[in-house]
Amino acid sequence: MKLTNKAKKELNIALQHLKRSFDYIHSPDIAVARRKSSRTTTEDYWRLGDGKALIEVNKQCGSDLCGLEDAIFHLSNFIDNN
């Protein structure tokens, strides 16, 4: 399938947004955490005022954030091959 120039431009804009989001999330100054309602056994958490905890999420593997890098890869390949 051959993309129109307009479609390719729109997909490239979406790709740039994905890349910018990836760079922001993976910045060393940014931490991503999830809320845990029960007590935690790890020392790497932040206690919230309501008794719940925030636990840092691994940005490289084992979370849904990995899908962002996959999306960049697949969209980039799709644009290049069409």
Tens digit of each residue's pLDDT (9 = 90 or more) over 21-77 = 999 999 999 988 888 766 656 666 777 777 778 888 888 876 788 899 999 999 999
φ, ψ for residue 41 (rounded to 5)? -100, -5
In a domain, 82, yes or no: no
* 14 vs 16: CA distance, rounded Å: 5
Q: Could you tell me if residue 64 is inside a domain?
A: yes
The domain of 69 spans 5-77
Say what the pLDDT of residue 50 is.
Answer: 78
Q: Does position 12 have pLDDT exceeding 70, yes or no? A: yes
Residues contacting 37, CB < 8 A, separation 6+: 52
Total domain count for the chain?
A: 1
